[in-house]
Amino acid sequence: MFYAILSELGHSTISIADLNVGILRIYIDTIQNLPAVRNSTSLLNKKFSELAKLDIEKISSKTFKYNLRTISGFLNWVSYKGYDIDPKLKVILEGSLKNTLKEDRSKRVPFDNRS
């Protein structure tokens, strides 16, 4: 998804050295606003930027955090391989992870053995 969003933004040939705070912020804002269900026929051919603007249920905080942790892991791997990356990228990811609201557990239906 990271590559697909960057490609849509015109950054399909971006190198690790070109990855910057602005691009990462756009990625974070985009995935945070994606719909929870993107595989319906009416949404399949839409761009990520169009999906992010829709006024429908957004992805869960768990999915959002999963995506951020995936990118964080990728940046750690890139750094381990010896590539120079902007240290601010990791700070932004960590900050976004910490500032993500937890799911509202009141929406969950408790287990009932009568069903």
Full pLDDT tens readout for the chain, 115 residues: 888 888 887 777 778 888 888 888 888 888 888 888 777 777 777 877 778 888 888 888 888 899 899 999 999 999 899 988 888 888 888 888 877 655 544 555 666 666 5
CA distance 96 to 25: 10
Q: Which residues contact 30 (CB under 8 A, 6 or more apart)?
A: 5, 48, 49, 52
